[in-house]
Structure 1
Amino acid sequence: MRGRFAPSPTGYIHVGNVWSAFLAWLQVRQAGGTLVLRIEDIDEQRSKGEFVTALLEDLTWLGLTWDEGPDTGGPCGPYVQQERYDRYAAALAQLAAQGLLYPCYCSRARLQAVGAPHAGEHVVYDGHCYGLSKEEQARQTKKPSWRVHVPARTVTFTDGVYGRQDEFLPCCCGDFVVRRADDLYAYQLAVSVDDAAMAITHVLRGRDLLSSTAQQIWLIETLGGTAPAYTHVPMLMDAGGHRLSKRQQGITVRSLRGRGVTARALLSYLAWLGGLLPERRCLSLADLVRQCRFEALRHDDIVLPDDWLSQVSDISKSF
């Protein structure tokens, strides 16, 4: 097994990030596999070097160690996306050679007005620019983004938590952007190229990315790679039922460390809250690997109660 944790350095990691990082680490450690840490920093405006440094420090403090990554190296490097642009350019050239790439001149306002939402996560493109002639393209004044044309095909896969998924590409994603109008590579392209090139066999990530999986499988296979097995896990929410955000105060690993929270208490609490452990008690990392049961993982999103920090403090006393 080769798994990966692939965070974006756009802020300090918080409890929600810890939840998915812990499960990705746990899946690999229970299987005796290799864990890859990849820094997904293609959002050049928001990604910061200071957050990369903090990320490595926070994961190390948590004990969620990796086998290959930007600091340790490995056979599939570089492990920072801004150092992998040549791979993405080659993938675009391959898609163009297959006749699948075309420019899109649609404004954001048009896309929101005519696109059909899919699963509440993204808007499905209506294919407006796919049929433009060379003459029509030449009359455009807006710098285009670049889209890949998907076939009328159903992608079927079995998710590790949510079971069989049958996704008809024109309806679940439509022709999607692989390079933005500002010349930055799109997430869907970069993650697909990297997962294939790094020989990732298992991807564990949040349920919010389940709707992106079919297009990534298709893209990986179209580029000649083998798609990994996917496991999407329920999201960690605040007491109000809102998804945790890097903008929220008091939930970053840094702030928790400052309050005296221990790493093993935090991870043990999250494992219990998510259903992986039957009892709320503090365990070592080795015991977490031995005792956590993935088959007992909850399927519904997990809400942090108002007093969750005091509960974490309480279980730290049981170690």
Structure 2
Amino acid sequence: MKARGRLAPTPSGELHLGHAASFLRVQQSIREKNGTLILRIEDVDRLRCKQEFVDSSIEALKALGITWEEGPDLGGDFGPYVQSEKTARYKEIILKLRDLNLVYPCPVSRRQLREHGFDLAHGEALFPKELRDSCDQIPEDPWSINWRFRVPDGLKLSFYDQELQKEITFEAGIDFGDFIVWRRDGMASYELSVVVDDHDMKISEVVRGEDLLLSTARQLLIYRSFGWDEPQFGHCPILKDGEGEKLAKTRGSRSLKSIFSEGRDWRQMLKDCGLGKVLD
């Protein structure tokens, strides 16, 4: 099958150099295979995602020299696919997972979680297993409540990382617990929406930041629940600032928009981070 990759920015803030490195690597990998690249806006977080960031993300991609070959026709140009337009499809998948007894409605509040010693393990919050039994009632409006995936304890999920060039393994129930696939605000979670979209769009390889390694393990559970073909996964090293902190929108890391407006040499900045290979 012809290689298919995707650029998938979340419009919750301005893109930074870390995004540039990942997106350039996505394009490089697909071009090497003479494949097809698509653009998908991952805007399922209604509170944080804004149209202004959609527009600036597209402008930044174009300024980086990144192009894509598929999407809604804008009259000689291709626009992005948009996740917020696929709510009906995500609901369909949630119902299928429910019929397989793989997800359950979860009315548990943050206060209840704290009362049950909700803590962090390996940087990931583990849902208390004893609370599952209190999550068997489906409300009148099933989409106004969180839904969680029922994680099978002890299952090991492994995949070969094409970028890190090594086998990665996580254990369900140890590295991560029951995770949210539908949010009470009426939108699918990142884990569910990404898997459904990558499956529907026949994405053959996923290249993204190393901070999403654990997400890959959770997403593999969804793929395997349906027997869907899994893409190859590759995770790029996380870029850090001068203080050794990872670049992140939440930390106000310097945006590509500001770098471009100041006429800074973003290519040299990537080379200074040891990422010259994404410019080959």
TM tier relative to shorter chain: 0.7 to 0.9
Report deviation, 1:91.
Answer: 0.5
**Structure 2 CA distance, aligned partners of 1:250 and 1:147?**
32
CA contact (8 A) 2:259 2:266 kept: no
Amino acid at match of 2:273: L
SS of corresponding position for 1:36: strand
SS of corresponding position for 2:159: strand
SS of corresponding position for 2:257: helix
**Structure 2 CA distance, aligned partners of 1:47 and 1:87?**
20
CA contact (8 A) 2:108 2:135 kept: no
**Structure 2 CA distance, aligned partners of 1:133 and 1:179?**
14
Between the aligned residues of both structures, percent identity stands at: 36
**Structure 1 CA distance, aligned partners of 2:223 and 2:82?**
19
Amino acid at match of 2:90: Y
**Structure 1 CA distance, aligned partners of 2:85 and 2:242?**
39
2:52 aligns with one of 50, 53, 56: 50
What does residue range 1-319 of structure 1 map to in structure 2 within 5 Å? 1-69=3-71, 79-111=81-113, 114-120=117-123, 122-132=124-134, 144-152=145-153, 153-160=155-162, 161=164, 163-246=166-249, 251-261=254-264, 265-267=265-267, 269-271=269-271, 273-277=273-277, 288-289=279-280
* Structure 1 segments unaligned to the other structure (5+ residues): 278-284, 290-319
Report deviation, 1:173.
Answer: 2.0
Report deviation, 1:28.
Answer: 1.4
**Structure 1 CA distance, aligned partners of 2:72 and 2:55?**
11
1:274/1:69 CA distance change after superposition, 3 Å:
farther
SS of corresponding position for 2:216: helix
SS of corresponding position for 2:120: strand
Out of 97-106 and 85-94, give the one that drifted further. 97-106
1:65/1:133 CA distance change after superposition, 3 Å:
closer
CA contact (8 A) 2:105 2:135 kept: no
Out of 147-156 and 81-90, give the one that drifted further. 147-156
CA contact (8 A) 1:119 1:211 kept: no
Per-residue CA deviations over 1:214-255 (Å, capped at 9, x if unaligned) read 110110221342111111111111101112233566821221
Report deviation, 1:84.
Answer: 0.9
CA contact (8 A) 1:39 1:70 kept: no
CA contact (8 A) 1:173 1:212 kept: no
CA contact (8 A) 2:38 2:80 kept: no
4+ aligned runs moved over 3 Å, structure 1: 69-73, 109-113, 247-250
CA contact (8 A) 1:210 1:232 kept: yes
1:253/1:71 CA distance change after superposition, 3 Å:
farther
1:251/1:69 CA distance change after superposition, 3 Å:
farther
Report deviation, 1:182.
Answer: 2.2
| Larger Rg computed on CA atoms | 1
> Please, what is the CA RMSD of the aligned residues?
2.6
**Structure 2 CA distance, aligned partners of 1:72 and 1:220?**
32
**Map of 1:292 onto structure 2:** none
Per-residue CA deviations over 1:181-235 (Å, capped at 9, x if unaligned) read 2222111111111111111111111111001111101102213421111111111
1:150/1:4 CA distance change after superposition, 3 Å:
same
Aligned residues: 268
Report deviation, 1:32.
Answer: 1.8
Report deviation, 1:80.
Answer: 0.3
Report deviation, 1:59.
Answer: 0.8
* Structure 2 segments unaligned to the other structure (5+ residues): none
